[in-house]
């Protein structure tokens, strides 16, 4: 299936979860995740199934002044 991950078209297996997408992109903590602009709590990464056409954003904090 195809989703948009950080504004890039990405192929994932059917019934992939947020955790699967994070593993594929080798995300390094800390980060926050939103699917279709809705925040996904870390405790739900393995349970949150993605669907064809979903938009997932992985947002890392930025430090500075």
**Rounded CA gap, 50 and 38, in Å?**
13
pLDDT for the residue numbered 59: 96
Token reading at 39: 């925040």
Domain assignments of the chain as residue spans, ordered by start: 2-59
CA-derived radius of gyration, the chain = 12
Q: Give yes or no for a cis peptide into 30 (omega within 30° of 0).
A: yes
pLDDT tens readout for residues 37-60: 999 999 999 999 999 999 999 999
pLDDT for the residue numbered 24: 96
pTM of the model: 0.92
Query: What is the third-level CATH fold of 2-59?
Result: Ubiquitin-like (UB roll) (3.10.20)
* Cα–Cα distances in angstroms (integers) from residue 15 to residues 21, 31, 46, 52, 63, in the given order: 11, 23, 11, 9, 35
Token reading at 7: 């504004």
């Amino acid at each position: 299936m195809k989703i948009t991950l950080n504004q890039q078209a990405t192929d994932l297996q059917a019934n992939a979860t947020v955790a699967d997408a994070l593993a594929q992109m080798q995300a390094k903590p800390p980060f926050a995740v939103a699917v279709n602009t809705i925040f996904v709590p870390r405790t739900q990464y393995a349970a949150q199934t993605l669907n064809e056409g979903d938009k997932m954003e992985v947002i890392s904090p930025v430090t500075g002044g």
